[in-house]
Structure 1
Amino acid sequence: MITEDGNWRNWAGNQRVAGVDVVHPTSADEIAAALVRAGESGRRVRPIGSGHSFTAIGRPEDVQLVLDRHAALVDVDGAGLVTVQAGMPLHRLNAELAARGWSLTNLGDIDRQTVSGALSTGTHGTGARFGGLATQLRALDLVLADGSRLHCSADENADVFAAARIGLGALGVLDTVTLQAEPAFALRAEEGPARLGDLLDGFGEFMTSTDHVEFYWFPHTDRCLTKRNTRVPLESGLAPLPRWRAVWEDEVLSNIVFAGMVAAGRRRPALIPQLAAVTARGLGRRSWTDASHRVFVSRRRVRFVEMEYAVPRDEAPAILTELHRIAAAGEFQASFPVEVRVAAADDIPLSTASGRDTAYIAAHVPARTDPGSWFAALESLAGSVGGRPHWGKLHGLDAAALRTRYPRFDEFTALRARLDPVGVLGNAHLDRVLGPVGG
């Protein structure tokens, strides 16, 4: 994200705006003052974290509320309840917790997002027994559009808490959040190649074979890279990758060399299937043990745009089978692997895993590339089984379609109308996916 003189773009560069007012609040009072000023002048405000969403969810129209100066650690108590200001980035939170002997239960594979942005869009990791980041929330403080404050937990303003755990920045601006951490643990990571057909035939068994499982399928091939992370006590000892190997494999091969291959594919799309085959043939095995946040997270230096759909877990193999057919038929040249993860059901109204055990299928294309039929195919296939798009990733659905995917959709929009009746915390994107306030 870049915010200079009212010019902004997100991480991927596919969302841009110029000429907006930019406010960097340092306190809840300053957040409230910015909201009140905007409401009095008929202007709309969007809070933003680090700009890692690919949708226009954070795109401001009048005022952008940047939370980079509202990012302090407030407290970590003896039971692992950690309270932070909403603008703290996840990588800083992980470091603060590790220094005190705590870890978050689960993480996605990127840690550059702010806590508020990750929570508000439904960021998740993988693990059949584990929910997304929002399931670790225990309390939150909102600044409402009229400048008032609301403390929310399971015991206080419980209806707001239930919805605001994944609130899209539409109910209020997050001031502080309290997450439940757990005693620090390590992960034993095992990576290796596999055939797509084998993984799909035994999908349920493989994805539940240890604590945190995912795989990456390389379109135009039947090859996959599997990642299996098993939780182990820190006391059992760490065995991280040697520094030279981590730099070579995770920086040189996964970022620098991959960037070159993506660039070659953009210049000559006909080469993409051959490049995918070369990449897939180079997959090897490795294993190591390190602190959980170091294993969960990967560096992503090659910029892309992404679509991710959450589908009922049992439906994932059929969708991937059809995507494989589309890629093999040459209907689209896909240079990025497809990521497949799982998560447990939860009870959050706008969670992609609300009420059902879920599989996530994520497709990517290089930044500044038209995703064309590749994203359209995933959206159509996922839609046929009631798939729900990640709130921060590209999709084409509107409020009418999303209402059919979320049984508690109207509960959320009614709460939005009550807390922000004139739509101060809105933009065109929220009008599309939630409907206009009062509409």
Structure 2
Amino acid sequence: MTGSGSWRNWAGNQRATGVDVVHPSGADEIAAALRRAAATGRRVRPVGSGHSFTAIARPDDVQLVLDRHAGLVDVDDAGLVTVQAGMPLHRLNVELAARGWALTNLGDIDRQTVSGALSTGTHGTGARFGGLATQIRALELVLADGSRLRCSADEHPDVFAAARVGLGALGVIDTVTLQAEPAFALRAEERPARLGELLDGFEEFMSSTDHVEFYWFPHTDRCLTKRNTRLPPGAELEPLPRWRAVWEDEVLSNAVFAGVVAAGRRVPALIPPLAAVSARALGARTWTDASHRVFVSRRRVRFVEMEYAVPRDAAPAVLAELHRVATAGEFRAAFPVEVRVAAADDIAPSTASGRDTAYIAAHVPARTDPGSWFAALESVAGSVGGRPHWGKLHGLDVDALRSRYPRFDEFTALRARLDPAGVLGNAHLDRVLGPVAG
């Protein structure tokens, strides 16, 4: 199915008009769309659910929307699950749970498609756990010339080493095979804390259980910590009572917070006192539930985001400097700063490639100029070799990114080999990867 139309991402900060929009069903239709574009000198971008804040999915000419290529292909007895690229994570989680399986780790949003989340390096948190791409065991790609390539650790391992976080620049994902594990429960513990104590004992706290993160409320020293502990098979579930989940996760975390954001946009001077109110509103709680229901949170207030991956031991200094910036009043930030960790991996364009990593994410309301707040994070993170999330806002170009990634040229050389005409490109990839040099 093909038509002409417009597109905007979830946050509304990326838009395109007058482009050809193709909804392929199956690998043959994906291949045909790529061959047509190549024959006419047009460029193609695949897109999932539009949850990236950068222009990585914004098409110059043709956009492949994978909503008709979104089925579950297979789940075998060893937990290898194969899905088509457009399958949303929230649907995959339900399909796996019904069969007694679960993904090892997840981010806190599940609206992305599998291919979109993997291609941009989406991650959760956990000092011993890698990002979602580390769960990949095989990929089927449709290359720019319409040919197909299967890659894994044993088949075309050079492609597999990069395509797990491929930015949609090496080929269009047809199917992906992930390693799931037997379904498990998490005991979730949320507690208030002070920023100073978390920075003083950062490594100990972030590795104190399986999946740890915290939210720091700028203009205060207050934080909300989240510690999720994996439980043995058969553990009894004790989810939050329905009334409490609705009150805290829908009313306080979304409806009331939306009011706080709106008030801060009208009167910026209110943001610091409102931040203190927000920090105090969310208190201690403990519950146990299926892993995918604990990992994921509802995000109904729209925002734009910048996230930097920094060496884990550098995170306390980065956060301390951001606290100084916020205290000095250089920018008023209504959203909390999210702090997570991940283990090093061996994926060339991964933000955790070759080093244990901490992730520091700043947010501002959608349709808001992030101004000096994002600039401060980018500057401070850059001073320690920080790498920006591929799907979140940043100001770096190919020269700056090459200096942050030891294997950057390995990725761009592979791109030139697989797509020498630059069919799978756009203006954004020209900026962050450079034009294809085939």
TM over 0.5: yes
The CA distance in 2 between the partners of 1:129 and 1:213, in whole Å, is 11
Is the contact made by 1:234 and 1:291 (CA closer than 8 Å) also made in structure 2? no
Report matched runs for 1:354-393 at 5 Å. 354-393=353-392
Aligned AA for 2:169? A
Question: SS state of the match for residue 233, structure 1?
Answer: coil
Deviations 1:54-97 (A, max 9, x none): 00000001000000000000000000000000000000000000
Question: SS state of the match for residue 19, structure 1?
Answer: strand
Are 1:231 and 2:230 matched, yes or no?
yes
The CA distance in 2 between the partners of 1:233 and 1:58, in whole Å, is 40
Percent identical: 87
The CA distance in 2 between the partners of 1:107 and 1:298, in whole Å, is 11
1:280: how far off? 1.3
1:4: how far off? 8.4
Aligned AA for 1:416? R
The CA distance in 1 between the partners of 2:233 and 2:225, in whole Å, is 24
Distance 1:17 1:40, change over 3 A: same
Deviations 1:313-349 (A, max 9, x none): 0000001001101101110000000000000000000
Question: SS state of the match for residue 60, structure 1?
Answer: coil
Deviations 1:275-303 (A, max 9, x none): 00111122310000000000000000000
Is the contact made by 2:252 and 2:281 (CA closer than 8 Å) also made in structure 1? no
Name the structure 2 match of 1:304.
Answer: 303
Name the structure 2 match of 1:429.
Answer: 428
The CA distance in 1 between the partners of 2:277 and 2:108, in whole Å, is 24
Deviations 1:401-437 (A, max 9, x none): 0000000000000000000001000000000000000
Name the structure 2 match of 1:338.
Answer: 337
Contiguous gaps of at least 5 residues in structure 2 = none
Name the structure 1 match of 2:98.
Answer: 99
Report matched runs for 1:6-21 at 5 Å. 6-21=5-20
Is the contact made by 1:14 and 1:54 (CA closer than 8 Å) also made in structure 2? yes
Name the structure 2 match of 1:28.
Answer: 27
The CA distance in 2 between the partners of 1:324 and 1:110, in whole Å, is 26
The CA distance in 1 between the partners of 2:280 and 2:32, in whole Å, is 57
Deviations 1:206-261 (A, max 9, x none): 00000000000000000000000000024121000000100000001100000011
Report matched runs for 1:391-410 at 5 Å. 391-410=390-409
The CA distance in 1 between the partners of 2:220 and 2:3, in whole Å, is 43
The CA distance in 2 between the partners of 1:347 and 1:176, in whole Å, is 21
Name the structure 2 match of 1:199.
Answer: 198
Report matched runs for 1:284-295 at 5 Å. 284-295=283-294
Name the structure 1 match of 2:74.
Answer: 75
The CA distance in 2 between the partners of 1:149 and 1:83, in whole Å, is 16
Question: SS state of the match for residue 213, structure 1?
Answer: strand
Aligned AA for 2:127? A
Aligned AA for 1:202? G
Aligned pair count? 437
Aligned AA for 2:337? V
Contiguous gaps of at least 5 residues in structure 1 = none
The CA distance in 2 between the partners of 1:422 and 1:4, in whole Å, is 24
Name the structure 2 match of 1:181.
Answer: 180
Aligned AA for 1:308? E
Question: SS state of the match for residue 305, structure 1?
Answer: strand
Name the structure 2 match of 1:263.
Answer: 262
Are 1:88 and 2:92 matched, yes or no?
no
Question: SS state of the match for residue 171, structure 1?
Answer: coil
Aligned AA for 2:164? R
Name the structure 1 match of 2:321.
Answer: 322
Aligned AA for 2:266? R
Question: SS state of the match for residue 235, structure 1?
Answer: coil
The CA distance in 1 between the partners of 2:399 and 2:134, in whole Å, is 27
Is the contact made by 1:22 and 1:66 (CA closer than 8 Å) also made in structure 2? yes
Aligned AA for 1:212? H
The CA distance in 1 between the partners of 2:244 and 2:277, in whole Å, is 20
Name the structure 2 match of 1:140.
Answer: 139
The CA distance in 2 between the partners of 1:191 and 1:5, in whole Å, is 47
Name the structure 2 match of 1:53.
Answer: 52
Is the contact made by 1:307 and 1:364 (CA closer than 8 Å) also made in structure 2? yes
Q: Which is further off, 342-351 or 4-13?
A: 4-13
The CA distance in 2 between the partners of 1:283 and 1:239, in whole Å, is 20
Question: SS state of the match for residue 246, structure 1?
Answer: helix
The CA distance in 1 between the partners of 2:284 and 2:252, in whole Å, is 14
The CA distance in 1 between the partners of 2:114 and 2:361, in whole Å, is 22
Name the structure 1 match of 2:240.
Answer: 241
Name the structure 2 match of 1:220.
Answer: 219
Name the structure 2 match of 1:158.
Answer: 157
Question: SS state of the match for residue 6, structure 1?
Answer: strand
1:5: how far off? 4.7
The CA distance in 1 between the partners of 2:188 and 2:362, in whole Å, is 24
1:200: how far off? 0.3
The CA distance in 1 between the partners of 2:232 and 2:16, in whole Å, is 47
The CA distance in 2 between the partners of 1:18 and 1:429, in whole Å, is 16
Report the TM-score, using the length of structure 1 for normalisation. Answer: 0.99
Name the structure 2 match of 1:277.
Answer: 276
Aligned AA for 1:133? L
